[in-house]
Amino acid sequence: MLKGVSVLLFLLFILSQCNDTMSSGGQVSNETDMAAYGKEIYKTHCAMCHGERGNAKIAQSADLTITKMNTTEISDLIYHGKKTMPRFAEVLGEPEINAVSNYVLTLKAMK
C-alpha cells in the first residue's frame, strides 16, 4: 500500500513539473546547450530516483553511471518506462527526451 502511494505521489510530482519543462519549447542551439538543457530536465524529473550523479538507486532505479545503453535505447526507455520507472511520453517531448538521454551518458564520465 505504501509503495502504491509513493508511486502515485511521484507521478503527481512529475506531472506538476510538465509545464515548466515544456515552456522552453525544446529549442537547443548547440551541444553545450543540449547538455545543460538535459541536466535541468534530469534534475527535475529523474534525480529524485536516480540521484544527482545517477547512482542513487532509489525506488529500484538503475545505476546510470554503469549503463551500457546508447542514446536511442535510453530515449526509448524514458519514453516507454520500465518496472518502477513511469513512462514520460506524456510529460516530455522528443527534444526533452533526447536531451536527457545525452545527459545520462555524461554521468558515466563523471563516475
Model pLDDT for residues 52-81, shown as the tens digit of each residue: 999 999 999 999 999 999 999 999 999 999
pTM of the model: 0.72
Q: 27-41 as b/e, with b when 16 or more CB fall inside 10 Å?
A: ebeeeeebbebbbbb
What mean pLDDT is reported for the chain? 82
pLDDT of residue 70: 95
H helix intervals, the chain: 2-16, 18-22, 31-45, 47-50, 71-80, 94-110
Q: Note whether 92 and 41 are within 8 A (CB).
A: yes
- Cell numbers given for 110: 563523471
- DSSP single-letter state for residue 66: G
Query: What confidence tier does 23 reach under pLDDT thresholds 50, 70, 90?
Result: very low
Q: How many CA atoms lie within 13 A of 38 on its CB side?
A: 24
pLDDT of residue 30: 73
pLDDT of residue 19: 45
- The rounded distance, in Å, linking the Cα atoms of 110 and 20 is 27
- Domain 30-110 maps to which CATH number in 1.10.10.60, 1.10.760.10, 3.10.180.10, 3.30.930.10? 1.10.760.10
Higher pLDDT, 4 or 69: 69
**Sequence-separated (6 or more) residues with CB below 8 Å from residue 30:** none
pLDDT of residue 5: 47
